[in-house]
């Protein structure tokens, strides 16, 4: 990579404007193609048989009757997906999650699949598959799963990270620890100490579009996969490895995406669809039902967290400690570790210690959900911080400002911070009119901070200039939040042309080099860096072509505002050449003009946000209404401010749902009781006020335009901000998310009864 990513400071023409999104018309007219909209001639319908048991040994699967049913073209079990993972434990877990092998590990775990000529036949075939289960005791609660008496989910797991090697297997796969200083000593200096335990229930990302794909495996071993995903290159790698294919022989095309939020970073049905197609010799379409999405695809962790924070009378925190227990489903994860790293990241602390425990339970395999693990940790910490501020007698915003991390602060997860934006978001919140607006009876105001790391990653981009001067931009990061618009703005900015001259597409895996997926808030951060690099490479060629057309040295040609300009006293009489004029002559000056870039975008820069919200609680029913909500967040540089605001609003909306209503409810039998949007309540427009946003722009020193990722941080503060608001409105500290009406009512009644 020969590209300098450092922030240069510049005035912008296109970046920072708000043009209409290029995919908008297709989406509002229904022309846009999502995962389930793709069809092929001769396509079969795939359906998956799922375990009704939370934990069971699979003694035997008899598929003979299903195979004999007319119209059934393939039936597969784990035998059709042999273990080719070569000792890669993470990939083995993915394989086992796609199709259970020795045991079914949760209600909804796939155990077999069929491909048939139509959906009716496929459903009939599933009923003809006989699975002989030996039902085992199960555990779904995080605290119960940690007890030594809990049913063991995997008897080969011995807890990692303990000082002494354990001699017995456990549902705790790993212990991690972060911090510095001496918390014991720090608490000794505290005048006030708050110590509380919190719980958060498991939620789903709740994307409206279910997982969907069409797989077509040819008899020559090549294959195509059309799929709704956040990362088609990663899906290609995983599917190819699981099916024993060469990656280059599997072409994956990403569809439009109806929401992902981390849940579409993971293969679920895709290897199954490919295995079905390989066996049937025909294309197979596999679309999950909503019930399947809930039961078998990526929820976030359920958690149990203890927090202890101490402060002096002057409001200085002297010590902070947290123990975080996160479920990871039935497979090992690192979710508590992330929670332990992010929990106190907003604060300047001399003494801090966090310990994380990864806990196996009989629930679906945990997947990333927007700033994964951070919202739950922030809920616990920010609730305790709010309570501590009250005990000390300092305004909660002022208390946070007094203790906020700043440049030079040693972060709670280890390194010393460079320039960061927590202070400015708190100051902006303090000065926001929202903080001074009057409240009515039964209303409460809450605020909270949030932190997220943000990531970059491998990125590859092509920029092609047509002979008419229009520009095609091919990127490999899936557009989950309007990145085709933002990347077109970046290309237009760099080339000095109008936004309307640029058309961005997401290229398939055979048309472009590898790209990491769109996660970690990296889509616009990484691909804009690659787009700038590709555009600069194209400008180099444009200057060379202009030099040819003028018959002068390329060293005398500069690129200014979309034109080649001849520099120097000898060329004073030469007029400017536009990109369009140079492109028109490209056929006789060396052929097509293009810019390519492959790079690793690193140095994404950590991100902070502060949220304020007002809630009204009905003390008779526990019903809540969000009255007002404000998001303040640092974007570095908002390339397309409307989409940045959309990310802020979207994160807040999801956080509101998580805080107030959403939860997985399991019965005593270990079966999910509410696998549908009627019983799993996400907020709709009528539940929400207009979410106000304030974009701060503190440039990221590691991006040419100062861009930071914005997609995830906005879901970190809401659980805590809302909990603080509800607690203030109801007059009782809420410690269990979601704060559904029954839970609020119970807390109010318990407080009344003393």
Identify the residue among 121, 124, 173, 454 touching other proteins (CB under 8 A): 454
User: Which position among 43, 140, 176, 301 is part of the footprint of other proteins (CB under 8 A)?
Assistant: 176
Distance (Å, rounded) from C-alpha 157 to C-alpha 492? 53
* Min dist. Cβ of residue 697 to other proteins (A): 19
Which range touches other proteins (CB under 8 A), out of 155-163, 184-192, 282-290, 680-688? Answer: 155-163
> Of residues 334, 524, 661, 735, which one binds other proteins by CB under 8 A?
334
Around 78, how many Cα atoms within 13 Å sit in the side-chain half-sphere? 23
- Residue 396 beta carbon to other proteins: minimum distance, rounded to whole angstroms: 27
Binding status of residue 92 toward other proteins by CB under 8 A: no
Exactly one of 20, 25, 416, 684 binds other proteins (CB under 8 A); which one? 416
Question: How would you write 443-476 as a 3-class SS string?
Answer: EEEEEEEEEECCCCEEEEEEEEECCCCCEEEEEC
**Other Cβ atoms within 10 Å of 307 Cβ, number:** 28
DSSP annotation of 417 reads: P
Position 645 contacts other proteins (CB under 8 A): no
181 binds other proteins (CB under 8 A): no
Is 640 a binder of other proteins (CB under 8 A)?
no
| Neighbour tally for 689: CB within 10 Å | 14
According to DSSP, residue 160 is labeled B
How far apart are CB 521 and other proteins at their closest, in Å?
Answer: 6
Kindly indicate which of the ranges 70-78, 174-182, 185-193, 736-744 contains the residues binding other proteins, using the contact rule CB under 8 A: 174-182
DSSP string, 499-553: GGGEEEEE--TTTS-----S-TT-HHHHHHHHHHHHHHHHHHHHHHHHHHHHTS-
CB of 453 to other proteins, least distance (A): 6
Question: Looking at 108, 210, 259, 372, which residue binds other proteins (CB under 8 A)?
Answer: 372
Q: Does 338 bind other proteins (CB under 8 A)?
A: yes
Which listed residue (229, 254, 265, 403) binds other proteins by CB under 8 A?
265
Judged by beta carbon, residue 517 or residue 745, the one nearer other proteins is: 517
Query: Both tokens of residue 58?
Result: 């699979």
Q: Which is nearer to other proteins, 52 or 298 (CB)?
A: 298
Helix, coil or strand: residue 704: coil
Q: How far apart are CA 695 and CA 60, in angstroms?
A: 58
Please state, in angstroms and rounded to a whole number, the distance separating the CA atoms of residues 326 and 360.
Answer: 9
Report the residue number, 174 or 400, with the smaller CB distance to other proteins.
174
Task: Assess 417 for contact with other proteins (CB under 8 A).
Answer: yes
Output the CA angle 550-551-556, nearest 5 degrees.
75
Would you give the binding string for other proteins spanning residues 495-524, x where CB under 8 A is met?
Answer: ------------------------xxxx--
Whether the bond into 738 is cis, omega within 30 of 0:
yes
Asked whether the beta carbons of 303 and 376 are under 8 A apart, the reply is yes
Q: Which two tokens stand for residue 222?
A: 């090549």
Counting contacts by CB under 8 A, is residue 91 touching other proteins?
no
Residues 678-717 that bind other proteins (CB under 8 A): 702, 712
Cα–Cα distance for residue pair 308/322, rounded to 1 Å: 6
Residue of 16, 19, 71, 161 that binds other proteins (CB under 8 A)? 161
Q: Which listed range, 423-431, 597-605, 627-635, 686-694, lies at the site for other proteins (CB under 8 A)?
A: 597-605
Q: Is 477 in the site for other proteins (CB under 8 A)?
A: no
Contact between 154 and 360 under an 8 Å Cβ cutoff? The reply is yes
**Least distance CB 610 / other proteins (angstroms):** 21
* Structure-block tokens of residue 363: 């629930």
- Whether 346 contacts 608, CB under 8 Å: yes
Question: Which residues of the shown chain bind other proteins in the complex (CB under 8 A)?
Answer: 160-161, 163, 174, 176-178, 205, 261-263, 265, 334, 337-338, 341, 368-372, 411, 413-418, 452-458, 519-522, 600, 602-606, 702, 712
């Amino acid at each position: 990579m020969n590209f300098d990513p450092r922030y240069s400071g510049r005035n912008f023409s296109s970046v920072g404007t708000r043009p209409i999104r290029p995919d908008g018309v297709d989406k509002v007219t229904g022309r846009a193609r999502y995962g389930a909209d793709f069809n092929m001639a001769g396509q079969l319908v795939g359906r998956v048989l799922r375990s009704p048991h939370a934990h069971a040994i699979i003694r035997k699967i008899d598929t003979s009757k299903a195979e004999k049913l007319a119209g059934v073209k393939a039936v597969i079990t784990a035998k059709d997906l042999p273990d080719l993972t070569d000792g890669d434990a993470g990939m083995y877990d993915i394989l086992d999650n796609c199709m259970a092998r020795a045991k079914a590990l949760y209600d909804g775990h796939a155990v077999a699949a069929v491909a048939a000529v139509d959906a009716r036949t496929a459903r009939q075939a599933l009923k003809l598959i006989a699975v002989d289960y030996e039902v085992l005791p199960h555990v779904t609660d995080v605290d119960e799963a940690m007890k030594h008496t809990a049913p063991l989910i995997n008897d080969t797991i011995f807890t990692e990270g303990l000082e002494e090697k354990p001699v017995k297997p456990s549902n705790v796969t790993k212990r991690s620890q972060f911090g510095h200083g001496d918390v014991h000593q720090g608490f000794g200096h505290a005048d006030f100490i708050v110590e509380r335990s919190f719980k958060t229930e498991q939620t789903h990302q709740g994307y409206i579009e279910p997982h969907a794909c069409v797989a077509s495996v040819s008899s020559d071993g090549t294959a195509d996969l059309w799929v709704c995903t956040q990362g088609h290159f990663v899906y290609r790698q995983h599917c190819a490895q699981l099916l024993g294919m060469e990656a280059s022989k599997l072409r994956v095309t990403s569809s439009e995406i109806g929401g992902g939020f981390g849940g579409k970073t993971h293969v679920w049905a895709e290897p199954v669809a490919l295995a079905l197609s390989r066996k049937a010799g025909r294309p197979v379409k596999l679309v999950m039902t909503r019930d399947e999405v809930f039961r078998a695809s990526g929820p976030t962790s359920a958690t149990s967290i203890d927090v202890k924070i101490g402060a002096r009378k002057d409001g200085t925190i002297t010590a902070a400690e947290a123990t975080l227990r996160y479920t990871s489903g039935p497979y090992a994860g690192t979710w508590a570790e992330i929670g332990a790293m992010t929990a106190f990241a907003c604060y300047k602390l001399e003494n801090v210690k966090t310990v994380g425990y990864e806990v196996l339970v009989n629930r679906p395999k945990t997947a990333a959900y927007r700033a994964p693990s951070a919202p739950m940790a922030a809920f616990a910490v920010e609730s305790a911080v709010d309570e501590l501020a009250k005990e000390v007698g300092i305004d909660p915003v002022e208390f946070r400002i007094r203790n906020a991390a700043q440049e030079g602060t040693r972060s709670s997860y280890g390194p010393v911070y460079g320039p960061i934006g927590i202070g400015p978001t708190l100051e902006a919140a303090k000065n926001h009119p929202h903080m001074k607006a009057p409240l009515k009876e039964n209303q409460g105001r809450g605020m909270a901070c949030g932190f997220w790391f943000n990531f970059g990653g491998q990125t590859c981009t092509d920029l092609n200039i047509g002979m008419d001067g229009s520009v095609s931009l091919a990127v490999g990061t899936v557009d989950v939040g309007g990145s085709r618009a933002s990347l077109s703005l970046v290309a237009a900015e760099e080339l000095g042309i109008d936004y309307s001259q640029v058309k961005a597409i997401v290229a398939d895996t055979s048309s472009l080099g590898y790209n990491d997926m769109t996660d970690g808030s990296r889509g616009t951060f990484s691909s804009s860096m690659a787009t700038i690099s590709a555009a600069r490479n194209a400008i180099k060629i444009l200057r060379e072509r202009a030099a040819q057309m003028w018959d002068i040295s390329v060293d005398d040609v500069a690129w200014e505002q979309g034109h080649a300009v001849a520099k120097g006293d000898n060329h004073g009489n030469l007029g400017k050449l536009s990109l369009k004029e140079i492109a028109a002559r490209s056929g006789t000056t060396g052929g097509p003009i293009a810019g390519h870039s492959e790079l690793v975008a690193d140095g994404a820069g950590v991100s902070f946000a502060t949220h304020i919200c007002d809630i009204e609680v009905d003390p008779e029913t526990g019903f809540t209404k969000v009255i007002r909500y404000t998001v303040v967040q640092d974007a570095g540089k908002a390339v397309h401010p409307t989409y940045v605001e959309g990310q802020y609003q979207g994160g807040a909306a999801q956080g509101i749902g998580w805080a107030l209503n959403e939860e997985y409810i399991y019965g005593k039998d270990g079966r999910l009781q509410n696998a549908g949007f009627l019983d799993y309540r996400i907020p709709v427009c009528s539940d929400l006020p207009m979410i106000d946003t304030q974009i701060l722009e503190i440039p990221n020193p590691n991006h040419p335009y100062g861009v930071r990722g914005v997609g995830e941080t906005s879901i970190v503060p809401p659980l805590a901000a809302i909990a603080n608001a509800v607690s203030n409105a109801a007059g009782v500290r809420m410690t269990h998310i979601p704060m559904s009406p029954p839970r609020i009512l119970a807390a109010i009644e318990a407080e009344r009864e003393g």
